[in-house]
Amino acid sequence: MGKNKKTHLPNEKYLSLPAHAEAATPIIDTHTHLLSTFSSYKSKYTSGKYETVWDFVRGIYAGRNVKAIVDVWCEAPVQSAWKELADSAITPDGRAENWGGIEYWFVMGVHPHEASVYTDAVEKSILEAMAHPRCVGWGEIGLDYHYDNSPRAIQQQVFTRQLRQAVKLGKPLTIHTREAEEDTERILKQEVPVHHKIHIHCFTDSPEFAQRLLDHFPNLHIGITGVISYLTNVNTSALVRQMVASPGGPRILLETDAPFMIPANIYASLPEVKGRLPLCHTAMIPWVAEFTAGVVGGGWGTAKIMQRANENAQLVYGI
């Protein structure tokens, strides 16, 4: 019998990344799962120095020019912790004390994986959250035919139901779509007004599908994560090149989807690290931008990609 390989866990200190060469551009992470990221940290570093999610944010992001994060709550039933985090960021003093001055925002919805447990009570909880002053959108919601964790018919029903509520409230949409191009496009075009603000999160499907959405919805933007740096993914790079060549330039947003999607190119900045970092976090955004800039070329450096994405975050989420 073969022996299992022992996975080497890098020292916790390496989660505090070196300053990126383009650190002068503020970081806006338009899609992070903060509580999941902190839980992942605590599970990997059981004796870690950060005791609370606020400690983690203030410590890991200190000096990294993180301006704002959009935290994503997409579980059913809704996790009650959302309110404590959101309430702690209502006032400037609260953001200074709890978040180290970082602008904390959030969106809420139910992920397609959990569509089968969407209920009236869940929807009532989401509607309560929509009224919170730090809430900037409804999501992430959509269709996922890769895993099919919920039956497709139920995914479509719940997606439609959430879209109708979000549109009624005028809330920007954070959309998850994977291997469900035809149904996602059909439902969005049926249910969402043309000028509604839409964020297609962590896009990996065909560039042709994305272009149809971009052509139909002028306020739709595409979320780019570290997955753009993975050899298994060619679609995202092709789409970014396509968008850069389009009139008006790339309608992109930068995001981490933390704790997932560590940018593959980050290890060039961490030559002393043995093994792989166990989680992604918001301070990795410059490496997502750096890889994206390398893909498109033509004068689009890391700082320019980040600046454009930040302008787009203002357009979509008002942050």
Domain count, the chain: 1
Looking at residue 7, what is its pLDDT? 65
**Domain assignment present for 6:** no
pLDDT, tens digit, for every residue of 120-156?
999 999 999 999 999 999 999 999 999 999 999 999 9
**Domain assignment present for 5:** no
**Domain assignment present for 223:** yes
- CATH code of the domain covering residue 77: 3.20.20.140
pLDDT, tens digit, for every residue of 28-50?
999 999 999 999 999 999 999 99
| Percent share of the chain, pLDDT over 70 | 98
Asked whether the bond before 259 is cis by omega within 30 degrees of 0, the reply is yes
Looking at residue 8, what is its pLDDT? 85
Annotated binding site for a divalent metal cation: 140, 176, 201, 257
Cα 196 from Cα 152, distance rounded (Å): 25
Query: Can you give the residue range of the structural domain that contains 157?
Result: 21-317
Looking at residue 80, what is its pLDDT? 96
Annotated binding site: 140, 176, 201, 257
Q: Is 107 exposed, middle or buried (0-12, 13-18, 19+ CB in 10 A)?
A: buried
Supply the DSSP symbol for 168.
H
Cα 318 from Cα 296, distance rounded (Å): 26
**Domain assignment present for 15:** no
Span 230-255, average pLDDT: 94
**Domain assignment present for 10:** no
Q: List phi, psi (to 5°) of 173.
A: -110, 135
Q: pTM to 2 decimals? A: 0.96
Q: Mean pLDDT over all residues of the chain?
A: 96
**Domain assignment present for 1:** no
Q: To which H or E segment does residue 135 belong? A: strand 135-144
**Domain assignment present for 158:** yes
| Percent share of the chain, pLDDT over 90 | 93
**Domain assignment present for 7:** no
Q: Long-range contacts made by residues 18-24, C-beta under 8 angstroms, separation at least 24?
A: 18/269, 18/270, 19/63, 19/64, 20/269, 20/286, 20/287, 20/290, 20/302, 21/302, 22/286, 22/289, 22/290, 22/301, 22/302, 22/303, 22/306, 23/64, 23/65, 23/286, 24/65, 24/303
Looking at residue 4, what is its pLDDT? 46
Strand, helix or coil at 107?
A: strand
pLDDT, tens digit, for every residue of 45-77?
999 999 999 999 999 999 999 999 999 999 999
Looking at residue 3, what is its pLDDT? 46
